[in-house]
Amino acid sequence: MAFGRSAAQSEGRPSGSAAPPRRRNPLRRFVLFAGLIVGVALIADGLLTIFWQEPLTAVQQAHSQSVLRSDLPRLQQILNQEVPASSRLTPTTRVHRQATRLLNERPSGSAIGTIDIPKIGLKSVIVEDTDHDALTKGPGHYKGTVLPGMDGTVGLAGHRTTYGAPFRHVDQLRTGSEILLKMPYGEFTYKVYNKRITSPSDASSLISHSDTRKLVLTACNPLYSAAQRIVISARLVSDTPA
Say which of 141, 159, 169, 209 is annotated catalytic. Answer: 159
H helices, E strands: number in the chain? 5, 8
Q: Which whole-number Å values give the CA distances from 39 to 26, 32, 34, 42, 143, in the listed order?
A: 20, 11, 9, 5, 41
**CA neighbor of 112 nearest in space, from 149, 58, 84:** 149
Taking the C-alpha atoms of residue 32 and residue 144, their distance in angstroms, rounded to an integer, is 54
Taking the C-alpha atoms of residue 159 and residue 131, their distance in angstroms, rounded to an integer, is 12
> CB neighbours of 1 closer than 8 A, spacing ≥ 6?
10
For residue 220, indicate whether it is catalytic.
yes
Say which of 63, 169, 209, 220 is annotated catalytic. Answer: 220
Taking the C-alpha atoms of residue 123 and residue 137, their distance in angstroms, rounded to an integer, is 13
Task: Catalogue the active-site residues.
Answer: 159, 220
